């Protein structure tokens, strides 16, 4: 589904991604963790080319992103992205947040788009909020709307960039439950998160990144119980100790 | 105090001076309203141009702003009045000259307001729209501009009010606006206090009306919480 081949990225002289090689299969749930500044957000932002790369190649669904004839908008329409800060459109109602892209990009009729929106709001547990504005919702509700907005495009893959990091602790679970449900339905997911409980329960594979490199990867059980690299052990002991 | 001078010349001051119906080319509103509308439309393009990634759009837009923001409005009016007819070898009518000068001049200021308004919208909004596959034009139209416009309202209205009052400068090329109309009446009646007090009230009523309407718009664009 997604393949990184010798990917390198710099911000000026800062080498933020170093020789990334990675394959993500259809239906796989991959959790990416690591200290801040390790390049994990950059990694997933490269998949829908919110960030360009300077060397190497990324394939999505077999198509190389560097291909100049690639229809980037069509590709992005297939990739759902959920941001740490939700980034809902504050001037639009919840329903309009969900129907904008399907109507403008997919050219779905308003009626059909609204039917999809209603179904998705039901699924993320806030069917009664479709006329509300984002400012009237709690953080957890906003993030669930943001997930529904991404799903409204019926994506083949969902990317999550620290989806619970901006939330109050009591709202984290309602978002993780929605994500767990998605994973169970077979959605291909790449999740940047520090929620190690979620990683243990839901992920098929966990990656640990540091200084722009993938230091370690493995199934959750091996990853958490017998991490190979000292850097991973150090990181895990810091975030799991409390 | 002899306010009968106002009553006697009311038609001339309001119909000719404010609205532009009369024997002379003129009218404050007839100049200000299209100048605001056209200046704002041009200003949106200038503002977008200033933010364009392509240098062949960005650089001319920047030069445009720097030139017209750096010269007095009176001079721009003179340019159009004296220089353009010589270059093009055609005589331009007062109204056309005045309107063109105002639109061209104000677009520089309005363009900067538009640019600041667009930049005030958080970056995440553009990323969210881009990530769902919207084109950059669609992102601008449905996501960025509606939010930017709301943030721009106070600065825009201030600029519209400035423009409205600046239309009195068009009188230097013989355009009979409200100020010029009062001058004409005063030359005959010699009642400067009454006449200039009256037109001050008329200007103030118009600009205060604009302020009130702006406040109303700002509230309408704020989602009720």
| Residues in B touching A75 (Cβ below 8 Å) | 133
Thinking of the domain B4-220, which architecture would CATH place it in? Answer: Orthogonal Bundle (1.10)
**pLDDT digits over B75-133, tens only?**
999 998 988 888 888 888 889 899 999 999 999 999 999 999 999 999 999 999 999 99
What ipTM goes with this model? 0.91
Q: A23 Cβ partners below 8 Å, 6+ apart?
A: A2, A3, A4
Three-class secondary structure assignment of B79-127: HHHHHHHHHHCCCCCHHHHHHHHHHHHHHHHHHHHHHHHHHCCCHHHHH
Which of A74-88, B29-43, B209-223 shows the lowest per-residue confidence on average (mean pLDDT)? B209-223
What mean pLDDT do residues B64-75 have?
A: 94
Q: How far apart are CA A203 and CA A29, in angstroms?
A: 5
**pLDDT tens digit at each of 242 positions of chain A:** 899 999 999 998 999 999 999 999 999 999 999 998 899 999 999 999 999 999 999 999 989 998 889 999 999 999 999 999 999 999 999 999 999 999 999 999 999 999 999 999 999 999 999 999 999 999 999 999 999 999 999 999 999 999 999 999 899 999 999 999 999 999 999 999 999 999 999 999 999 999 999 999 999 998 988 888 888 988 988 887 65
For an interface test with B, the pick among A83, A85, A101 (most B C-beta atoms closer than 10 Å) comes out as A101
Tokens 């989806």 sit on residue: A163
Q: Which of B122, B125, B131 sits opposite A50 (nearest CB)?
A: B131
Q: How does residue B220 score in pLDDT terms, banded at 50, 70 and 90?
A: confident
What mean pLDDT do residues B192-212 have?
A: 94
Residues 93-112 of B with CB under 8 A from A: none
Q: Look at A136 and B128 and tell me if their CB atoms are within 8 Å.
A: no
Q: How does residue B9 score in pLDDT terms, banded at 50, 70 and 90?
A: confident
Average pLDDT of chain B is: 91
Residue A180 burial (C-beta neighbours within 10 Å; 0-12, 13-18, 19+) = middle
pLDDT at A51: 92
Tokens 């600009």 sit on residue: B207
pLDDT at B221 over 90: no
For an interface test with A, the pick among B133, B138, B145, B223 (most A C-beta atoms closer than 10 Å) comes out as B133
Nearest CA in chain B to A153: B132
Q: Which of B133, B146, B225 sits opposite A105 (nearest CB)?
A: B133
Give the 3-state secondary structure percentages of chain A, helix then strand then coil, rounded to 5: 40, 25, 35
Min distance A50 CA to chain B CA atoms (Å): 7
pLDDT at A242: 55
Positive or negative torsion for Cα B3, B172, B26, B64: negative
- Say yes or no: B124 contacts chain A, CB-CB below 8 A: yes
pLDDT at B158: 93
Q: Which helix (H) or strand (E) holds A15?
A: strand A14-24
Q: How does residue B223 score in pLDDT terms, banded at 50, 70 and 90?
A: low
pLDDT at B17: 86
Instruction: Determine contact, residues A46/A58, Cβ cutoff 8 Å.
Output: yes
| Residues in B touching A149 (Cβ below 8 Å) | 132
Q: Look at B147 and A149 and tell me if their CB atoms are within 8 Å.
A: no
pLDDT at A239: 82
pTM: 0.85
pLDDT at B224 over 70: no
- C-alpha A228, offset from chain centre: 26
pLDDT at B1 over 80: no
Residue A183 burial (C-beta neighbours within 10 Å; 0-12, 13-18, 19+) = buried
pLDDT at B222 over 80: no
- Per domain, the residue ranges of chain B are 4-220
Chain A residues within 8 A (CB-CB) of chain B? 48, 50, 73-77, 79-81, 83, 85, 87-91, 100-101, 104-105, 133, 135-136, 146, 149-150, 153
Q: How far is CA B103 from CA B28, B34, B49, B107, B111, in A?
A: 14, 8, 17, 6, 11
Q: Look at A76 and B130 and tell me if their CB atoms are within 8 Å.
A: yes
What mean pLDDT do residues B152-181 have?
A: 92
Q: Which of B125, B133, B135 sits opposite A89 (nearest CB)?
A: B125
pLDDT at B20: 85
pLDDT at A241: 64
Tokens 């892209």 sit on residue: A101
């Amino acid at each position: 589904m997604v393949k990184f081949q010798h990917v390198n990225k710099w911000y000026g002289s800062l080498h933020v991604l170093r020789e990334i090689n990675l394959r993500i299969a259809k239906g796989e749930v991959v959790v990416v963790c690591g200290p801040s500044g390790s390049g994990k957000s950059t990694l997933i932002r490269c998949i829908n080319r919110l960030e360009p790369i300077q060397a190497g190649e990324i394939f999505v669904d077999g198509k190389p992103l560097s291909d100049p004839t690639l229809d980037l908008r069509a590709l992005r329409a297939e990739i759902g992205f959920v941001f740490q800060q939700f980034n809902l459109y504050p001037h639009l109602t919840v329903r309009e947040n969900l129907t904008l892209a399907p109507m403008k990009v997919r050219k779905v009729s308003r009626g059909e788009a609204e039917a999809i929106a209603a179904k998705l709001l039901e699924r993320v547990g806030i069917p009664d909020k479709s006329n509300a504005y984002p400012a009237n919702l709690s953080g957890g509700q906003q993030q669930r709307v943001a997930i529904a907005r991404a799903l409204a495009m019926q994506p083949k893959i969902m990317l999550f960039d620290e989806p619970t990091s901006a939330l109050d602790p009591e709202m984290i679970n309602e978002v993780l439950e929605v994500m767990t449900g998605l994973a169970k339905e077979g959605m291909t997911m790449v999740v940047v998160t520090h929620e190690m409980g979620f990683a243990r329960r839901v992920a098929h594979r966990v990656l640990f990144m540091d200084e722009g490199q993938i230091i370690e990867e493995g199934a959750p059980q091996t990853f958490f119980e017998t991490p190979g690299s000292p850097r991973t052990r150090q990181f895990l002991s810091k975030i799991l100790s409390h | 105090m002899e306010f009968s001078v106002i009553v006697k010349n009311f038609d001339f001051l309001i119909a000719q001076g404010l609205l532009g119906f009369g024997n002379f080319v003129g009218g404050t509103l007839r100049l200000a309203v299209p100048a605001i509308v056209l200046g704002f439309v041009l200003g949106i393009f200038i503002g977008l141009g200033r933010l364009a990634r392509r240098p062949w759009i960005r650089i001319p837009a920047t030069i445009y702003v720097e030139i017209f923001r750096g010269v007095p409005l009176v001079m721009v009016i003179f340019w159009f009045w004296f220089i353009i007819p010589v270059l093009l070898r055609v005589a331009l009518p007062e109204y056309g000259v005045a309107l063109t000068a105002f639109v061209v001049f104000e677009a520089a200021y309005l363009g900067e307001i538009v640019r600041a308004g667009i930049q005030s919208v958080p970056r995440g909004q553009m990323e969210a729209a881009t990530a769902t596959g919207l084109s950059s034009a669609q992102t601008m139209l449905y996501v960025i501009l509606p939010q930017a416009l709301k943030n721009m309202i106070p600065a825009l209205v201030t600029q519209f009010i400035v423009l409205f009052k600046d239309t009195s400068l068009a009188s230097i090329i013989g355009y009979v606006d409200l100020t010029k109309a009062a001058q004409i009446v005063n030359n005959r009646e010699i009642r400067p206090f009454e006449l200039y007090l009256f037109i001050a009230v008329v200007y103030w009523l118009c600009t205060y009306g604009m302020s009130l309407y702006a406040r109303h718009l700002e509230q309408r664009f704020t989602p009720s919480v």
